[in-house]
């Protein structure tokens, strides 16, 4: 789709806004005219069954996928569109790169670079894409390693670390870019249960001590309940429920939510 | 420009020899690959050893050298001269059979061990195990590498120009001194012919793969390209 | 048996001279094939509209047609078209390099495809410039994986060089033929040529196999 007719003007108060977003994979409509906003500094947890589109939302924000319909705004600017007269057209790579500066992502599989040590993993992007001086990047990296509790692992290689340690390095790597928005894609799902707690502790710290806007896809319901400002329950590409955790977890409005929560929480 | 029809027909006159050499070489390759490949899997150390010597000698030396040896040296040693085409087919078969032996061996070994154990549990004899259980399943795995190998063989038929077997490359070289201004046409014709033959081989092998996979109840992986995927060079 | 050990030994000096040329051809041709193949693989992956398809066509064409004809094209056709003539040796190196680049391009492609998609995605998430992603993340992971395959192609190239005697390159086989023409004994020089090939390619193959095994273990 080349242009969007009659677009709504960008909302300066929202950090993130999805307007009528449609995403298809082949015949499968994963996101079906999705609308939601996220305020600056909010910690929003996205929960719901697999295939409900939660990860797709993060991947669209990180420009790993393209929307098939609708628009996404980040910090008041269109993510992948530009204004052409009174219509919108697709943005070019230059625009995408500028938008990506504000967004960081931590992946389920960590995706650390195995041919670099921990320190270089964290300093590589600040030096190469933000243009930071090497020593400034290194100082920032060491601070972050301290924050995630891995100061002594700066020279280690990813292969020498446990899953939980690798994920904490991945978090430090994303934070080193000083993003406005941090996307967490099931960051504890690939970890052994004993290692999950350390990672969640780090995420809790980030949530309370910074004003980064965070979107967190997770199955860790207790964590979502404790740390989120808001929880969104997804099903079949639509927002089923959107409420503060106290309300959603204790008195869910939808039967589907109730069933989902019962199944997930009883399992733990 | 008026030379072109003559050039094309001249080059084409080598097609018969090329096709004969290729088909003969492929036939001999198939036979030797099976025999040597199975020999490499034999429980007998002697049989394995003989096969291993054959494979290493023909894989480890140059095909051109083998061709010269068979055509120029062997007559001196045993007394009779081989007809060029026949010598060519022998070398093509012996050389590519050695590579094919490894393909057969690898494919049989890639059949899941559970199949082998099931055959033992059913009290099948070693021959039955090989021919009724392992080889039929290994067959589908063998086809893509053999596709590459046969195209290698086709390309190697050009080497027979060294011993005057009347194939395409030689026909082109015979024209070169006479039609120096039309070299482009000579080589273009040759290259297109080889390309078409290579495509024919691939089409045939893909069809074989589909029917073999169907008989096993499997669908072979979809491949969009008409050309064979990369395999080993000679 | 019609074998003379004396003739065999006497043929060695010339054969070894030819072997040196063969080794030079192989090394130079390999370097060209390694570098060009990498360039082709990266360019193809970059998905530039016309260029990438053209590269694919070129690679498939070169790979599916005989090296001998390609040698003739470079040595006979190119001068007649452009007036630019290369020596037999240089023509040989270029032909070997181009032909084997079509193989190594595929090898590199496989190695690049084997790098997990997550590496690319992390690089996008960190907004790393494309060229730098190739240099610092993808190629350092792709190339070590494919070294055994590249080694095997060098060995293959070594065994294919004798066909260059058709344009007068002074390799092992050319020298064997020369010795045979001079001494009227063909058995010894050709056999020794074969032996020389074995003596080089067998240890080389064992080395490559060992390299392969070590990679499989550390992976």
Residue B48's domain is classified under what CATH number?
1.10.3720.10
Average pLDDT of the residues in C156-183: 94
The pLDDT of residue B196 is above 50 = yes
Q: What is the spatial distance between Cα C139 and Cα C114, in angstroms, rounded to a whole number?
A: 11
Question: Which residues in C lie closer than 8 A to residue B156 (C-beta atoms)?
Answer: 66
pLDDT of B234: 35
pLDDT higher than threshold 50 for residue B224: no
Q: Do B63 and C2 lie within an 8 Å CB cutoff?
A: no
Averaged over B151-175, what is the pLDDT? 95
Q: Which two tokens stand for residue C141?
A: 């992971």
pLDDT digits (tens, 9 = 90+) for C60-77: 999 999 999 999 999 999
* Residue B229: pLDDT band with limits 50, 70, 90: very low
Q: What angle do CA B29, B35, B40 make, to 5 degrees?
A: 115
Nearest to B55 by CA among B87, B104, B97: B97
Evaluate whether A20 touches A34 at the Cβ level (below 8 Å).
yes
Confidence of residue B163 (pLDDT cuts 50, 70, 90): very high
Distance of alpha carbon C146 from alpha carbon C128, whole angstroms: 25
Answer yes or no: is pLDDT of C160 > 60: yes
Considering only CB atoms, C159 lies closest to which of B190, B230, B234, namely B234
Please check the confidence at residue A4 and state whether its pLDDT lies above 50. Answer: no
| Interval A197-226: pLDDT, tens | 999 999 999 999 999 999 999 988 889 999
Q: A61 to chain C: nearest residue by CA? A: C125
Calpha distance C96→C104 (Å, rounded): 12
Q: Of C171, C144, C202, C147, whose CA–CA distance to C26 is shortest?
A: C171
Taken in order of first residue, the domains within chain C and their CATH numbers are 5-218 (1.10.3720.10)
Restricting to C residues 103-132, those with a Cβ less than 8 Å away from any Cβ of A are 116, 118-119, 121-122, 124-129, 132
Inter-chain residue contact B65 with C193, CB threshold 8 Å: yes
CB contact under 8 A, C118 and A107: yes
Residues A139-167 have a mean pLDDT of: 94
| Touching, A vs B (3+ Cβ pairs under 8 A) | no
**What is the model's pLDDT at position A11?**
61
- CA–CA min distance B136, chain C (Å): 28
Mutation test of the interface with chain B: which of C19, C100, C106, C163, choosing the one with the most B Cβ atoms within 10 A? C163
Quick check: do C and B touch, 3+ CB pairs under 8 A? yes
Subunits close to B (at least 3 CB pairs below 8 A) = C
Structure tokens at A7: 């677009």
* Helices and strands per DSSP (H, E), number in chain B: 11, 0
Find the radius of gyration of the CA atoms of chain C: 21
Min mean pLDDT across A12-26, A178-192, B155-169, C192-206 is at A12-26
ipTM: 0.88
Contacting residues for A48 by C-beta, under 8 A, at least 6 apart: A54, A233, A234, A235, A240, A260
Q: Considering only CB atoms, which chain C residues are within 8 Å of B14?
A: none
> Which pLDDT value is given to residue B227?
55
Cα four-point dihedral sign A61, A66, A72, A74: positive
Q: Which residue range forms the structural domain that includes residue B131?
A: 4-232
Chain A CB contacts of C137 under 8 Å are: 113, 115
Of the candidate ranges A105-109, A116-120, B141-145, C64-68, the one whose mean pLDDT is the lowest: B141-145
CA triple C25-C26-C31, angle to 5 deg: 100
Q: What distance lies between CA A133 and its chain's CA centroid?
A: 27
- For the residues A40-49, what does the mean pLDDT come to? 92
**Interface contact A107-C121, CB threshold 8 A:** yes
Question: Please, what is the average pLDDT of chain A?
Answer: 89
Q: What is the pLDDT of residue C218?
A: 65
**Residue B225: band (very low, low, confident or very high) from pLDDT cuts 50, 70, 90:** very low
For A105, the closest chain C residue by CA position comes to C125
Tell me how many residue pairs between chain A and chain C have CB atoms under 8 A apart: 59
Count chain B–chain C contacts defined by CB atoms under 8 A: 131
Interface of C with A in 138-177 (CB under 8 A): 140-141
Give the closest of C2, C64, C157 to B227, CB-based: C64
Q: Is pLDDT above 60 for A3?
A: no
The rounded percent of chain A whose pLDDT value lies above 70 is 94
Residue B216: the pLDDT is: 77
Based on the structure, what is the number of domains in chain B?
A: 1
Identify the pLDDT of residue B232: 41
Alpha-carbon span A187 to A145, nearest angstrom: 18
Write down the pLDDT at residue B188.
94
Provide the mean pLDDT of chain B: 89
User: Looking at residue C91, what is its pLDDT?
Assistant: 95
pLDDT for C8-43, tens place per residue? Answer: 999 999 999 999 999 999 999 999 999 999 999 999
Backbone torsions φ then ψ of A214, nearest 5 degrees: -125, 130
- CB-nearest to C141 from A114, A173, A174 is A114
Q: Give contacts of A79 with chain C, Cβ < 8 Å.
A: none
CA distance A71 to A93: 17
d(C-alpha C191, C-alpha B19), whole Å: 29
Q: What SS3 state is found at B70? A: helix
């Amino acid at each position: 789709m080349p242009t969007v007719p009659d677009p709504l003007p960008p909302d300066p108060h929202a950090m993130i806004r999805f307007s009528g977003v449609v995403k298809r994979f082949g015949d499968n409509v994963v996101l079906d005219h999705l609308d939601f906003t996220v305020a600056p500094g909010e910690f929003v947890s996205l929960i719901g069954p697999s295939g409900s589109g939660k990860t797709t939302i993060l991947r669209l924000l990180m420009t790993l996928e393209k929307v098939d319909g609708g628009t996404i705004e980040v910090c008041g600017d269109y993510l992948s569109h530009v204004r052409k007269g009174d219509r919108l057209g697709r943005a070019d790579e230059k625009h995408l790169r500028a938008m990506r500066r504000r967004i960081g992502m931590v992946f389920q599989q960590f995706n650390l670079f195995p041919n670099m040590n921990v320190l270089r993993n964290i300093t590589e992007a600040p030096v190469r894409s933000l243009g930071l001086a090497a020593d400034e990047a290194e100082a920032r990296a060491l601070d972050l390693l301290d924050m995630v509790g891995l100061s002594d692992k700066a020279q280690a290689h990813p292969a020498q670390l446990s899953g939980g340690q690798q994920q904490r390095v991945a978090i430090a790597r994303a934070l080193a870019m000083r993003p406005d928005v941090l996307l967490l894609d099931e960051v504890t799902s690939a970890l052994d249960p004993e290692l999950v707690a350390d990672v969640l502790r780090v995420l809790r710290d980030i949530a309370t001590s910074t004003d980064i806007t965070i979107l967190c896809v997770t199955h860790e319901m207790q964590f979502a309940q404790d740390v989120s400002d808001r929880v969104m329950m997804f099903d079949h590409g639509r927002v089923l429920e959107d409420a503060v955790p106290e309300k959603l977890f204790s008195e869910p409005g939808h039967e589907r939510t109730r069933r989902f929560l019962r199944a997930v929480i009883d399992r733990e | 420009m008026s030379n072109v029809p003559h050039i094309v027909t001249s080059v084409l006159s080598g097609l018969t020899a090329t096709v004969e050499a290729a088909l003969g070489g492929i036939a001999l390759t198939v036979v030797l690959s099976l025999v040597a490949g199975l020999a490499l899997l034999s429980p007998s150390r002697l049989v394995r050893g003989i096969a291993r010597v054959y494979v290493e000698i023909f894989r480890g030396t140059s095909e051109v050298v083998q061709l010269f040896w068979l055509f120029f040296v062997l007559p001196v040693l045993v007394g009779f001269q081989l007809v060029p085409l026949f010598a060519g087919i022998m070398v093509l078969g012996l050389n590519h059979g050695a590579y094919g032996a490894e393909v057969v061996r690898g494919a049989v070994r890639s059949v899941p061990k559970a199949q082998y154990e099931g055959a033992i549990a059913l009290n099948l004899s070693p021959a039955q195990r090989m021919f009724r259980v392992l080889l039929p399943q290994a067959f589908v795995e063998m086809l893509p590498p053999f596709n590459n190998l046969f195209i290698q063989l086709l390309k190697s038929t050009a080497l027979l120009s060294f011993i005057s077997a009347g194939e395409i490359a030689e026909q082109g070289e015979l024209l070169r001194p006479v039609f120096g201004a039309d070299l482009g046409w000579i080589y273009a014709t040759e290259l297109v012919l080889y390309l078409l033959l290579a495509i024919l081989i691939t089409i045939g092998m893909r069809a074989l793969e589909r029917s073999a996979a169907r008989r096993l109840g499997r669908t072979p992986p979809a491949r969009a390209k008409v050309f064979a995927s990369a395999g080993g060079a000679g | 048996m019609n074998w003379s050990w004396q003739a065999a030994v006497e043929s060695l000096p010339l054969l070894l001279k030819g072997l040196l040329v063969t080794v030079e051809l192989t090394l130079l041709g390999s370097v060209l094939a390694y570098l060009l193949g990498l360039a082709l693989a990266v360019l193809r992956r970059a998905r530039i509209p016309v260029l990438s398809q053209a590269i694919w066509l070129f690679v498939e064409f070169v790979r599916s047609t005989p090296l001998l004809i390609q040698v003739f094209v470079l040595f006979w056709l190119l001068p007649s078209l452009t007036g630019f003539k290369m020596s037999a040796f240089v023509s040989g190196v270029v032909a070997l390099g181009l032909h084997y680049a079509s193989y190594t391009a595929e090898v590199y492609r496989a190695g690049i495809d084997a790098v997990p998609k997550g590496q690319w995605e992390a690089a996008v998430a960190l907004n790393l410039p494309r060229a730098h992603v190739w240099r610092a993340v993808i190629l350092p992971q792709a190339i070590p994986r494919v070294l055994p395959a590249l080694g095997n192609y060098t060995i293959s190239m070594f065994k294919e060089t004798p066909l260059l005697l058709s344009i007068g390159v002074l390799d092992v086989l050319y020298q064997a033929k020369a010795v045979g023409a001079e001494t009227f004994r063909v058995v010894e020089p050709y056999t020794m040529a074969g032996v020389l090939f074995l003596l080089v390619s067998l240890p080389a193959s064992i080395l490559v196999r060992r390299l392969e095994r070590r990679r499989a273990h550390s992976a």
